[in-house]
Amino acid sequence: MSVSLDDLPLRDDLRGKTPYGAPQAPLPVALNVNENSHPVPEDVADDILDGIAHALRDINRYPDREFSALREGFADYLGEGLQQEQIWAANGSNEVLQHILQAFAGPGRTAFGFGPTYSMYPLLTAGTGARYIAGTRGDDFTLSPSDAAAQVDAVQPDVIFLCSPNNPTGTPLSLETIEAVYDASHGIVIVDEAYFEFAPHEQASAVTLLQGRERLVVSRTMSKAFAFAGARVGYMAADPALIDALRLVRLPYHLSALTQAAATAALRHAPAMLGMVDEIVVQRDRISATLSALGYTPYESWSNFVLFGGVDDPAATWKALYDRGILIRDVGLPHTLRVTAGTEEESTAFLEALASL
């Protein structure tokens, strides 16, 4: 007889919850989890392999707990005069967010995000025993400084998530809104810039707001623009004191020597690794334009995906595309679906399949 979760002494606050579960189906065109469809360039892959081979020779020893070379690399990449004392990294930005919640949320505390937003925020919050509170967005999923500040002021959460640009909607977020939320709160304000590299080049990062704001965190990932999702590397910048708080909750040696070597080598090739960003943005804009021509209503996106409305029956459309070998995402918003901008061929395959339905 098989045992179910109900038979186990599971924490009460985890009962009835469902785990993160984007389908991982082996379809020819996978545009469902906002990955980068372009592989790492061959010469960069060779250099990463050299770095891993080198690290392997010392693999009998624990890795550098402070991952200094990697932090140096991220400080250089982010610029703005950042020092490695202001940098943290972990196994994906999901783990970065988890570290922040472990240190600043937890039992009796609250975390807050403006829904619809990244589905892991509530799950990561619940994992630390804190309560998640969902705020709201305006028309077209935008967020004005005054509205955002008023919602945060009313709740006074311990941790606030600002996804910039927002997943799953692609919506841009202004620096003014970030400043207003920071000023209205006393908690930790996380700006999740997982998709920042796909925003217009002239757009300033929230990294430019860090100076003098000791409760502000800017989180990034190598999973999207860097085409490094399988390596699991996320990072963040904040005040050195905030970074110290994360040392209280991380597991010892949480970043393996192989991860550190791979990411450090990849960062040395940042321009080549990011070489496909502009091409992805071209496909994103082509997808939006074609969706409009087909009678759908794409939302403005500064990321590598497009959320589009005007879908009568999202589950049926999702299944029809699935049957044609194309995997996109039903994020549960009424009459919408979300598609990642892939290579030109993948994007064409998606658009032609959709047009044929």
84: contact with ligand PMP by CB under 6 A: no
What does the alpha-carbon distance between residue 153 and residue 331 come to, in Å, rounded to a whole number? 29
Indicate the residue among 94 and 264 with the shorter CB distance to ligand PMP.
Answer: 94
Q: How far is the CB of 122 from ligand PMP (least distance, A)?
A: 13
Q: How far is the CB of 171 from ligand PMP (least distance, A)?
A: 12
Identify residues 34-73 at the interface with ligand PMP (CB under 6 A): 34
Question: Near ligand PMP by CB under 6 A, which window of 73-81, 92-100, 180-188, 315-323?
Answer: 92-100
125: contact with ligand PMP by CB under 6 A: no
> Encoding tokens for residue 33?
């989890």
> Encoding tokens for residue 259?
């991860």
The stretches of the chain forming alpha helices (DSSP H) are 42-56, 68-78, 93-104, 120-127, 145-155, 175-184, 240-247, 257-268, 270-273, 277-293, 314-323, 344-356
Q: How far is the CB of 194 from ligand PMP (least distance, A)?
A: 4
Indicate the residue among 22 and 56 with the shorter CB distance to ligand PMP.
Answer: 22
Indicate the residue among 93 and 301 with the shorter CB distance to ligand PMP.
Answer: 93
Indicate the residue among 168 and 353 with the shorter CB distance to ligand PMP.
Answer: 168
Using Cβ positions, the residue closest to ligand PMP within the complex turns out to be: 92
Q: Is the dihedral of CA 350, 115, 231, 41 positive or negative?
A: positive
The number of angstroms, rounded, from the C-alpha of 239 to the middle of its chain's C-alpha atoms is 21
255: contact with ligand PMP by CB under 6 A: no
266: contact with ligand PMP by CB under 6 A: no
DSSP 32: S
Q: Is the dihedral of CA 119, 125, 128, 131 positive or negative?
A: negative
The correct pick among 27, 133, 175, 229 for binding ligand PMP (CB under 6 A) is 229
194: contact with ligand PMP by CB under 6 A: yes
305: contact with ligand PMP by CB under 6 A: no
Q: How far is the CB of 158 from ligand PMP (least distance, A)?
A: 19
Number of residues that bind ligand PMP (CB under 6 A): 13
What does the alpha-carbon distance between residue 192 and residue 103 come to, in Å, rounded to a whole number? 17
114: contact with ligand PMP by CB under 6 A: no
Question: Near ligand PMP by CB under 6 A, which window of 52-60, 86-94, 131-139, 144-152?
Answer: 86-94
234: contact with ligand PMP by CB under 6 A: yes
- The set of long-range contacts for 178-181, using a CB threshold of 8 Å and a minimum separation of 24, is 178/206, 178/209, 178/216, 179/145, 179/209, 180/145, 180/146, 180/148, 180/149, 181/145, 181/148, 181/149, 181/152
32: contact with ligand PMP by CB under 6 A: no
What does the alpha-carbon distance between residue 48 and residue 253 come to, in Å, rounded to a whole number? 21
Indicate the residue among 51 and 234 with the shorter CB distance to ligand PMP.
Answer: 234
Q: How far is the CB of 198 from ligand PMP (least distance, A)?
A: 12
The three-class DSSP label of residue 57 is coil
Beta bridge partner(s), residue 307: 338
Q: How far is the CB of 96 from ligand PMP (least distance, A)?
A: 7
The correct pick among 30, 157, 162, 192 for binding ligand PMP (CB under 6 A) is 192
- Which amino acid is residue 291, in one-letter code? L
102: contact with ligand PMP by CB under 6 A: no
Contact 189, 162 (CB under 8 A): yes
164: contact with ligand PMP by CB under 6 A: no
Contact 309, 297 (CB under 8 A): yes
Indicate the residue among 290 and 338 with the shorter CB distance to ligand PMP.
Answer: 338
What does the alpha-carbon distance between residue 251 and residue 287 come to, in Å, rounded to a whole number? 42
The number of angstroms, rounded, from the C-alpha of 351 to the middle of its chain's C-alpha atoms is 25
- Interface with ligand PMP (CB under 6 A): 34, 92-94, 118, 163, 167, 192, 194, 221, 223, 229, 234
